[in-house]
Chain A
Amino acid sequence: MTSPGDATPVKPPPSFSPGVGRNASKSRYPNEHESTVLIDAELAEARSVSSPTPPLSATTAELPIRSASPQGRSVRSSTPQLARSSFGSPLDGRFDGSEDIRSLIIRGFCPTIAVYASEDTDVLVKNKGFKGGFWELLRPFGETVTGKVIIRDSIGSSRAWEDYGVRFVDLKGLGRAPASRDSGRDSPLAQIEEVLEQQLGSAEGSLGASLPPKDVLGFPATTSLSKLFLRQLLSSTPAAPHETFGHPVASVIAISSRNKAPLETLRQLYGETNTGDKRLPDWVHQEYLRYYVLVHDEERDDITESTKLYDQMKRHFGLHCHLLRLRSSQCVVTDDDSVQVPHCEWLSPQEHMSGAGDADGTPYLFDSDVSAIKSFIRELTVQSVIPFMENRVAVWNDQVASRRRGISGRFMSMSKRWAGFGSSSRSGIGGSGGGNNVNYDTEHNFYRQDTPEAILRKMADFAFMLRDWKLASSTYDMIRSDFGNDKAWKYHAGAHEMCAVSMLLNPLAMSAKIKLESVDQMFETACYSYLTRCSDATHALRCLALAVELLKSRGGSATESAARWAMRVMDFGLVGSVGQILFMERVAACYASKTPVGGAKWGARRRKAGMWSIFAADQWLKAGKPTLASACLEEAERLYADVLGADGMFPMPEMQSFIDNLRHAVKVDYLQARGFDTNDEPVAGDTVGTEEISEKLDKRNHRRSLMGLPAQLDAGTLMSAGPRDPEDQPNDDFERA
Chain B
Amino acid sequence: MSYYFTILSPTDTPIFNIAFGTSKGGGDGIARFRFPDTAQYMNQFIIHSSLDIVEEAQWTNGGMYLKHIDTYPPAAAYISAFLTPSGARFLLLHQPPQLPNSGGGSGLGSSSLLGSSGNLARGSTSSIAANPTSPQTEEAVRQFMTEVYESYVKTAMSPFYKQGMEIRSPVFRTRVNAAGKKWL
Which A residues, 686 to 723, have Cβ-Cβ distances below 8 Å to chain B? Answer: 703-704, 706-708, 710-711, 713-717, 719-721, 723
How distant is A565 from chain B, measured CB to nearest CB, in Å?
10
Q: Does A724 belong to the interface (CB within 8 Å)?
A: yes
Whether B45 lies near A568 (C-beta < 8 A) is no
The interface-forming segment of A159-167, A523-531, A654-662 is A654-662
B87: which of A601, A657, A714, A719 is its contact (CB, 8 Å)? Answer: A714
Q: Does A564 count as interface, using CB distance less than 8 angstroms?
A: yes
Q: For the complex, is A604 an interface residue (Cβ under 8 Å from B)? A: yes
Interface residue stretch chosen among B6-14, B23-31, B94-102, B121-129: B6-14
For residue A606, CB closer than 8 A to chain B, the reply is: yes
B37 at the interface (CB under 8 A from A): no
Q: Would you give the shortest CB distance from A601 to chain B, in whole angstroms? A: 7
- A652 with B44: in contact, given A608-B52, A710-B10 (CB under 8 Å)? yes
**Which chain A residue lies CB-closest to B157?**
A716
- Closest chain B residue to A718 by CB distance? B163
Report yes or no: A655 in contact with B73, Cβ–Cβ below 8 A: no
Interface contact B13-A658, CB-CB below 8 Å: no
CA distance A703 to B12 in the complex (A): 11
Among A602, A654, A706, A710, which residue has its beta carbon within 8 angstroms of that of B41? Answer: A654
Q: How distant is the Cα of A608 from the Cα of B50 in the complex, in angstroms?
A: 7
Report the minimal beta-carbon distance from A719 to chain B, rounded to whole angstroms.
Answer: 7
Whether A567 and B164, one on each chain, are in contact in the complex, defined by CB atoms closer than 8 angstroms, is no
The CA of A484 and the CA of B18, in the complex, are separated in Å by 50
Q: Which residues of A contact B12 (CB under 8 A)?
A: 643, 651
8 Å CB contacts to B: which residues of A588-609? Answer: 600-608
Instruction: Choose one: A606, A650, A707; the contact of B9 (CB below 8 Å).
Output: A707
Chain B residues positioned under 8 Å from A650 (CB to CB): 48
Which residues of the other chain, A, contact B58 by a CB distance below 8 angstroms? 602
Contact B86 A716 (CB under 8 A): yes
Residue on B with the closest CB to A567?
B73
Binary contact readout A477-504 vs B (1 if CB under 8 angstroms, 0 otherwise): 0000000000000000000000000000
* Cβ contact within 8 Å between A710 and B11: yes
Q: What is the 8 Å Cβ interface bit string for chain A, positions 81-93, against chain B (1 contact, 0 not)?
A: 0000000000000
A239 within 8 A of B: no
Is A218 in contact with chain B by the CB < 8 A criterion?
Answer: no
Among B45, B59, B74, B164, which residue has its beta carbon within 8 angstroms of that of A708? B164
- Beta-carbon contact of B41 and A707 below 8 Å: no
> In the bound complex, how far is the Cα of B53 from the Cα of A611, in angstroms?
14
User: Does A614 sit within 8 A of B, measured CB to CB?
Assistant: yes
**Distance between B62 CB and nearest chain A CB, rounded to angstroms:** 16
Residue contact B74 to A601, C-beta cutoff 8 Å: no
| Chain B residues positioned under 8 Å from A601 (CB to CB) | 55
A30 contacts B by Cβ under 8 Å: no
The answer to whether the Cβ of B40 comes within 8 Å of any Cβ in the partner chain is yes
A residues near B14, Cβ cutoff 8 Å: 651-653
Does any Cβ of A come within 8 Å of B168's Cβ? no
Complex formed: what's the CA distance from A654 to B157 in Å?
Answer: 28
A645 located at the interface, meaning its Cβ lies under 8 Å from any Cβ of chain B in the complex: yes
| A571 in the interface (beta carbon within 8 A) | yes
**For the complex, is A356 an interface residue (Cβ under 8 Å from B)?**
no
B99 to chain A, nearest CB (A): 16
Contact A714 B86 (CB under 8 A): yes
Instruction: Give the residue name and chain of the A residue nearest to B15 (CB).
Output: A707
Which residues of B84-133 are within 8 A (CB) of A?
Answer: 85-88
Contacts of B11 in A (CB 8 A): 645, 651, 703, 706-707, 710
Asked whether B73 lies within 8 Å of A654 as measured between CB atoms, the reply is no
Q: Which A residue sits closest to B153, measured CB to CB?
A: A716
Q: Is the CB of B74 within 8 A of A570?
A: yes
Which residues of B sit under 8 angstroms from A717, Cβ to Cβ?
A: 86, 163
Whether B86 lies near A713 (C-beta < 8 A) is yes
- B10 pairs with A604, CB closer than 8 A: no
Residues of chain A at interface, number, CB under 8 A: 45
Complex CA distance for A675 and B115, rounded to whole angstroms = 64
Across-interface contacts of A706 in B (CB, < 8 A)? 11
Docked complex Cα distance between A603 and B54 (Å): 10
CA distance A651 to B45 in the complex (A): 11
The complex places the Cα of A414 from the Cα of B27 at a distance, in Å, of 53
> Across the interface, do A713 and B157 meet the contact criterion of CB distance under 8 Å?
no
| Chain B residue, CB-CB nearest to A597 | B56
Partner of B13, one of A606, A651, A719: A651
Given contacts A602-B59, A652-B14, A710-B10, contact A607 B48 (CB under 8 A): yes
Could you tell me the distance between the alpha carbons of A610 and B56 in the complex, rounded to whole angstroms? 17
B55, A714: Cβ atoms closer than 8 Å = no
How near does chain B come to A586, taking the closest CB pair, in angstroms?
A: 14
With the chains together, A608 CA to B59 CA distance in Å? 19
Minimum CB–CB distance from A603 to chain B (whole Å) comes to 6
Q: Does B61 contact A (CB under 8 A)?
A: no
Docked Cα-Cα span, A645 to B73, in Å, equals: 28
Give, as a whole number of angstroms, the nearest-CB distance from A593 to chain B: 14
B51 touches which of A564, A607, A704 (Cβ 8 Å): A607
Q: Are A714 and B85 in contact (CB under 8 A)?
A: yes
User: With A and B bound together, what is the CA distance between A611 and B52 in angstroms?
Assistant: 11
Q: B56 — which chain A residues lie within 8 A by C-beta?
A: 602-603
In the assembled complex, how far is the CB of residue B98 from the closest CB belonging to chain A, in whole angstroms?
14
Contact residue among A567, A643, A653 (Cβ-Cβ distance under 8 Å from B74): A567
Complex CA–CA separation, A711 to B8 (angstroms): 13
Q: Is B178 an interface residue, CB under 8 A from the partner? A: no
Complex CA distance for A611 and B59, rounded to whole angstroms: 23
Please tell me if the beta carbons of A721 and B49 are within 8 angstroms of each other in the complex: no
Check if B69 is an interface residue, CB within 8 A of chain A: no
With contacts A607-B49, A650-B48, A711-B87 known, is A720 near B73, CB below 8 A?
no
A147 to chain B, nearest CB (A): 46
Give chain B residues whose Cβ lies under 8 Å from the Cβ of A608.
49, 52
Contact A564 B52 (CB under 8 A): no
Chain A residues whose C-beta falls within 8 Å of the C-beta of B159 in the assembled complex: 719
Cβ–Cβ contact A657 & B86, under 8 A: no
Q: What is the bound-complex CA distance between A271 and B68, given in angstroms?
A: 66
Nearest A residue to B156 by beta-carbon distance?
Answer: A716
**Alpha-carbon distance A717/B164, docked complex (angstroms):** 9
Q: Which residues of A contact B156 (CB under 8 A)?
A: 716
* Distance A654 CA – B12 CA, assembled complex (angstroms): 14
Q: How far is the CA of A304 from the CA of B119 in the complex (A)?
A: 97
Closest residue of chain A to B165 (Cβ to Cβ) is A704
- Chain A nearest CB: distance from B94 CB in Å? 18
Query: Known contacts A608-B49, A610-B49, A652-B47; can you find 13 more A-B pairs with CB under 8 A?
Result: A571-B73, A607-B49, A607-B51, A651-B12, A652-B14, A652-B48, A654-B41, A655-B41, A657-B41, A704-B165, A711-B10, A720-B162, A723-B162
- 6 A-B contact pairs sorted by A residue (CB < 8 Å): A602-B55, A655-B45, A657-B41, A704-B164, A723-B162, A724-B162
CB-based closest 4 A-B pairs: A707-B164, A714-B86, A711-B87, A708-B163
Please give the residue numbers on chain A whose beta carbons come within 8 Å of chain B beta carbons, in ascending order. Answer: 564, 567-568, 570-571, 600-608, 610-611, 614-615, 643, 645, 650-655, 657-658, 703-704, 706-708, 710-711, 713-717, 719-721, 723-724
